[in-house]
């Protein structure tokens, strides 16, 4: 009896910028998993492992994740793999089978270039999954996942391996345990623009961006904001700049067809929120006509952050306290 069933089979590609995937470090992969049956929305997952070895160099590495025996995200969360639960079982003409795998993979990659999940629903995607289950010899029934090197060929058999892998559905706080966003700022057309990448949340998620003020003599205060007509949405706490995330990048609105990033010059500071040992004090203090050293933060709620950047940036502010220029490099910072 075949182990392949489209409704319980999920597939993802990593590398080349497909499906918003991110490769971080040497032991964590993030994938958008697409169902080969009736479900049309992806599930974002992390595959972590204690040991990793990738056959291709970092800039061109490709991998394929296949999950079988799972109807829902709940079914696949927490399943483990030793990294040795698949094997080549070509029988017959190994060269012919290998060429078949490469051909199917190329078909899928061509479809995946459309940046959507349609590649998982087309015939070549389904045939590739059947090929892996049958000719590559996925040997365990039930819930399992396999992280495979690509293109599928005999020479790739010693490619990507993890020992003691774990697959976790990317939800809530788990992604922040493995990924740290990076940010970049630049002067553009008289304004200060900031981009952020490697944000470990699902596409379309609203995150609460904010900024701390770097000070030596006290607990760093957070800047409060007032809504402006052209600026991003300010949350109820006044500390939060509500932004969207697509493909791990920061967007000013939930329009993913817009350019990623946020125009910091459209923000209007209105004060500070200063945390003490036992209390929080709000002031109307705004730095004007000078320089300010700040760093981005992502808040969970009120003034409690998921993440704060290690690297600061120095911005010039005008007579109203708005950011008009940034000093230093435009390269990504952590």
pLDDT digits (tens, 9 = 90+) for 217-250: 778 999 999 999 999 999 988 999 999 998 889 9
Q: Output 141 or 17, whichever has higher pLDDT.
A: 141
Whether the ω angle into residue 151 lies within 30 degrees of 0, i.e. cis, is: yes
Question: Hey, which of 25-34, 63-72, 81-90, 143-152 has the most confident mean pLDDT?
Answer: 63-72
In angstroms, what is the C-alpha Rg of the chain?
23
- pLDDT-based confidence at residue 52 (cuts at 50, 70, 90): low
- pLDDT-based confidence at residue 146 (cuts at 50, 70, 90): confident
Q: Please give the Cα distance from 124 to 120 (Å, whole number).
A: 8
Q: How far is CA 17 from CA 63, 107, 175, in A?
A: 12, 17, 19
Note the pTM of the prediction, 2 decimals. Answer: 0.70
- Report pLDDT for 98: 55
- pLDDT-based confidence at residue 328 (cuts at 50, 70, 90): very high
* pLDDT of residue 82 exceeding 80: no
* pLDDT of residue 18 exceeding 60: no
- pLDDT-based confidence at residue 34 (cuts at 50, 70, 90): confident
Which of 59-73, 188-202, 261-275 has the least mean pLDDT?
A: 59-73
Whether the ω angle into residue 259 lies within 30 degrees of 0, i.e. cis, is: no
* pLDDT of residue 93 exceeding 50: no
| pLDDT one-digit tens code per residue, 168-201 | 887 767 777 777 899 999 999 999 999 999 888 8
Helix (H, G, I), strand (E, B), or coil: what is residue 163?
Answer: strand
Do 169 and 73 form a contact (C-beta atoms < 8 A)? yes
- Report pLDDT for 139: 52
Helix (H, G, I), strand (E, B), or coil: what is residue 125?
Answer: helix
Q: Output 200 or 317, whichever has higher pLDDT.
A: 317
Which of 84-93, 165-174, 270-279 has the least mean pLDDT?
A: 84-93
* pLDDT of residue 42 exceeding 90: no
Rounded average pLDDT over 64-73: 86
- Report pLDDT for 248: 85
């Amino acid at each position: 009896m075949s182990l392949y069933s489209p409704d319980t089979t999920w597939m993802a590609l990593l590398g080349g910028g497909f499906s918003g995937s991110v490769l971080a470090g040497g032991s964590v992969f993030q994938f958008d998993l697409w169902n080969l049956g009736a479900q049309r929305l992806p599930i974002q997952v992390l595959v972590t492992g204690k040991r990793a070895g990738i056959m291709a160099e970092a800039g061109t590495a490709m991998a394929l994740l296949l999950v079988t025996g799972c109807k829902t995200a709940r079914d696949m969360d927490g399943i483990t793999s030793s990294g040795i639960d698949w094997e080549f079982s070509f029988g017959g003409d190994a060269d012919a089978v290998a060429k078949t795998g490469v051909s199917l993979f190329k078909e899928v990659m061509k479809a995946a270039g459309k940046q959507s999940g349609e590649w998982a629903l087309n015939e070549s995607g389904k045939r590739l999954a059947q090929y892996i289950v049958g000719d590559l010899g996925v040997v365990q029934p039930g819930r399992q996942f396999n992280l495979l090197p690509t293109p599928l060929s005999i020479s790739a058999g010693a490619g990507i391996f993890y020992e003691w892998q774990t697959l976790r559905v990317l939800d809530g706080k788990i992604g922040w345990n493995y990924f740290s966003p990076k940010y970049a700022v630049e002067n553009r057309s008289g304004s200060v623009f900031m981009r952020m990448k490697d944000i470990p949340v699902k596409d379309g998620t609203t995150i609460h961006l904010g900024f701390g003020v770097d000070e030596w003599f006290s607990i760093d205060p957070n800047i409060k904001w007032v809504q402006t007509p052209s600026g991003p949405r300010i949350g109820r706490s006044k500390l939060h700049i509500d932004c969207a995330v697509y493909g791990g990048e920061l967007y000013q609105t939930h329009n993913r067809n817009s350019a990623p990033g946020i125009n910091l010059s459209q923000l209007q500071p209105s004060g500070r929120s200063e945390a003490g040992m036992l209390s929080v004090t709000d002031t109307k203090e705004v730095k004007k006509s000078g320089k300010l050293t700040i760093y981005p933060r992502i808040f969970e709620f009120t003034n409690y952050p998921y993440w704060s950047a290690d690297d600061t940036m120095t911005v010039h502010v005008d007579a109203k306290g708005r950011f008009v220029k940034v000093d230093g490099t435009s390269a990504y910072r952590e």
